[in-house]
Amino acid sequence: MYKNFFAGQWIDGSDAMDNINPSDTSDCIGQFAMASKLQTEQAIDAAFDAFPQWAKSPLQQRSEMLDKIGDEILSRKQELGEMLAREEGKTLLEGIGEVVRAGQIFKFFGAQVVRQGGENFDSIRPEVDVAVTRSPVGVVGLILPWNFPIAIPAWKIAPALAYGNCVVFKPSELVPALAHALTEIISRSGIPAGVFNLVMGRGDVVGSCIANSPKVHAISFTGSITTGKRVASAAVARMAKIQLEMGGKNPLVVLDDADLDTAVDCAVQGAFYSTGQRCTASSRLIVTSGIHDRFVKALSTRLLQLKTDHALKKGTDIGPVIDQRQLDHDTRYIQIGIDEGATLECGGEQVFRDTEGFYLPPVLFTNTHNDMRINREEIFGPVASVICVRDYDEALSIANDTTFGLSAGIVTNSLKFSSDFKRNVESGIVAVNLPTAGVDYHVPFGGTKSSSYGSREQGEYAKEFYTSVKTSYTLA
Ligand code: NAD
């Protein structure tokens, strides 16, 4: 039984959940504690009580602690990468890549701790000095999804601690093992009791308690729009600070002058790697008519070569989807696409392997238009559709015709079109001749429209959320 961690103690849950390997449903990774509402309140109390001391903690202490956490994650990348592949279904290479990213993020914020500074201004009043400084926000509640079980926790926990906040971390019910492993590493870093707390359990119990607690000063949420809105309403009702990262329906535009291999690589990586379970996945491939047929042929050929199998098996390109519920959701959308009149170019059915898992090879729809539900609603699986357009102007207009705005990409050799696209596409992230998924850790991450709400995550921009600004006036 893997326990929760709060007030510096490992504590049994009021209930437990099985953590099942999506590549092999006979493989139970372990039983993980599920906290009750009362236990969640106790964890929040622990964070609340620890905050005044932690807010004053020496920067050198915080910096060394975060750096040490980063070092341990990096030194255990193989083992943690395997655990990630086993728990979430990313391939081993993808799992190791994600673990390395988490380690890099902790080390980045370890260094950021000692780069904190304020600003001085001349006053409009004589003999007055003005200083702008930043203070920690307080107790930060982190409510997280399952698709990046260590990278997303890292990019919220590391800045929260770096800027002097206490953390209550609620991972997704589907990926508690990585959350638990990360907590063990953090608990050994010399962190004072109560500063970091892990509360595993149900969204409507633990998540809801965090969202509604008057002792949680700020909430950073990543997940679906439906849950995000619920969490935001609770937070705003009590005037807590809130940041939301949610879904996407990200366009990848391919123009006639594109290098075909680059276009296919971007589509394969962006739409199908990590089993398409990425908020930045290129689920709409918007292709101009001059290259359309060649692109579809080359892409389908590549997709048919990809091996969908056990995430830990050598040679697997695409791991399973996360669980039966997600598989049902994906197959329901495949049927919706067929019913809407789209052509199923590749895939479309669950496949069976040596072990019982949720295997869905890449699905490519062609002959689709942007009004179809498969192009308007987030599917969050290995499913993408091609939309054929006349020219660049129509491509841009369709790229922007969505309620989402997280990431967007264009494949072209034209400086004119790539510059125009960077300027006019309505998204928080733009990729030129690169996949829409795949970002750096030292620069801002986030979207526009209904993909995101509040300030950006990651890099130095993270301080906007994890600190509050104070302006002081002093008569000299
Ligand atoms: P989800 O919304 O179902 O769950 C997210 C978290 O909210 C989980 O921890 C869940 O337990 C919790 N939760 C559920 N009900 C709650 C409630 N009533 N109150 C408080 N918390 C509650 O999302 P998911 O299925 O885990 O993740 C997939 C979604 O996440 C996709 O939409 C994807 O696009 C999005 N996502 C976005 C980003 C981004 O940065 N934009 C990154 C990764 C995933």
Element containing residue 329 per DSSP (H, E): helix 324-339
* Tally: H helices and E strands in the chain: 15, 20
From 166, 266, 279, 346, the catalytic residue: 279
What distances in angstroms separate CA 432 from CA 328, 341, 411, one per listed residue? 34, 31, 6
What distance in angstroms lies between residue 224's CA and the mean position of ligand 1's atoms? 4
Whole-model pTM: value is: 0.97
Average pLDDT in the 103-108 region? 98
Render pLDDT for 356-393 as a digit per residue (tens, 0 to 9). 999 999 999 999 999 999 999 999 999 999 999 999 99
**Which of 155, 213, 227 to probe ligand 1 with, by most ligand atoms within 8 A of CB?**
227
Length of the chain, in residues: 476
Q: What gap in Å lies between CA 231 and CA 220, rounded to an integer? A: 10
Residue 259 has pLDDT above 90, yes or no: yes
Residue nearest to atom 37 of ligand 1 (CA): 246
What distance in angstroms lies between residue 169's CA and the mean position of ligand 1's atoms? 13
CB atoms within 10 A of CB 331: 18
CATH 3.40.50.150 fits 251-432, yes or no: no
CB 324 within 8 A of CB 265: no
Residue nearest to atom 8 of ligand 1 (CA): 172
pLDDT at 412: 98
Render pLDDT for 160-171 as a digit per residue (tens, 0 to 9). 999 999 999 999
What distance in angstroms lies between residue 221's CA and the mean position of ligand 1's atoms? 7
Q: What gap in Å lies between CA 72 and CA 183, rounded to an integer? A: 12
Render pLDDT for 19-47 as a digit per residue (tens, 0 to 9). 999 999 999 999 999 999 999 999 999 99
**Which of 19, 37, 170, 172 to probe ligand 1 with, by most ligand atoms within 8 A of CB?**
172
DSSP assignment of 136-149 equals: E-SEEEEE--SSST
Element containing residue 400 per DSSP (H, E): helix 392-400
CB atoms within 10 A of CB 88: 30
Is residue 245 annotated as a catalytic residue, yes or no? yes
Q: What gap in Å lies between CA 63 and CA 114, rounded to an integer? A: 7
Q: What gap in Å lies between CA 276 and CA 68, rounded to an integer? A: 33
- Cβ burial 273-312 (10 Å sphere, 16+ → b, else e): bbbbbbbbbbbbbbbbeebbeebbebbbebbeebebbbbb
Residues having CB closer than 6 A to ligand 1 are 143-148, 170, 172-173, 203-204, 207-208, 211, 222-224, 227, 230-231, 245-248, 279, 378, 380, 406, 451
The backbone torsions φ and ψ at residue 87, rounded to the nearest 5 degrees and listed phi first, read: -85, -40
CB 174 within 8 A of CB 238: no
Here the tokens at position 97 are: 């890549």
CB 222 within 8 A of CB 380: no
* Domain 4-246: top CATH class: alpha beta
> What is the separation of C-alpha 140 from the centre of its chain, rounded to a whole number of angstroms?
17
pLDDT at 128: 97
**Which of 142, 147, 173 to probe ligand 1 with, by most ligand atoms within 8 A of CB?**
147
Question: What does the domain layout of the chain look like in residue ranges?
Answer: 4-246, 251-432
Residue nearest to atom 28 of ligand 1 (CA): 223
What distances in angstroms separate CA 340 from CA 187, 365, 373, one per listed residue? 52, 11, 8
Q: What gap in Å lies between CA 118 and CA 346, rounded to an integer? A: 55
What distance in angstroms lies between residue 156's CA and the mean position of ligand 1's atoms? 14
pLDDT at 476: 86
Residue type for position 414: S
pLDDT at 2: 97
Here the tokens at position 79 are: 């083992």
- Cβ burial 190-199 (10 Å sphere, 16+ → b, else e): ebeebbbbbb
pLDDT at 358: 98
What distance in angstroms lies between residue 99's CA and the mean position of ligand 1's atoms? 20
Residue nearest to atom 18 of ligand 1 (CA): 204
Q: What gap in Å lies between CA 423 and CA 125, rounded to an integer? A: 41
Residue 191 has pLDDT above 90, yes or no: yes
Average pLDDT in the 3-17 region? 96
Render pLDDT for 223-254 as a digit per residue (tens, 0 to 9). 999 999 999 999 999 999 999 999 999 999 99
Residue 139 has pLDDT above 90, yes or no: yes
Confidence of residue 311 (pLDDT cuts 50, 70, 90): very high
Q: What gap in Å lies between CA 460 and CA 466, rounded to an integer? A: 11
Residue nearest to atom 11 of ligand 1 (CA): 203
What distance in angstroms lies between residue 136's CA and the mean position of ligand 1's atoms? 25
CB 285 within 8 A of CB 271: yes
From 87, 88, 245, 464, the catalytic residue: 245
Here the tokens at position 387 are: 């939309």
**Which of 101, 168, 222 to probe ligand 1 with, by most ligand atoms within 8 A of CB?**
222
Residue nearest to atom 31 of ligand 1 (CA): 224
Q: What gap in Å lies between CA 282 and CA 180, rounded to an integer? A: 31
Residue 150 has pLDDT above 90, yes or no: yes
What distance in angstroms lies between residue 306's CA and the mean position of ligand 1's atoms? 28
pLDDT at 276: 98
Average pLDDT in the 90-103 region? 98
pLDDT at 215: 98
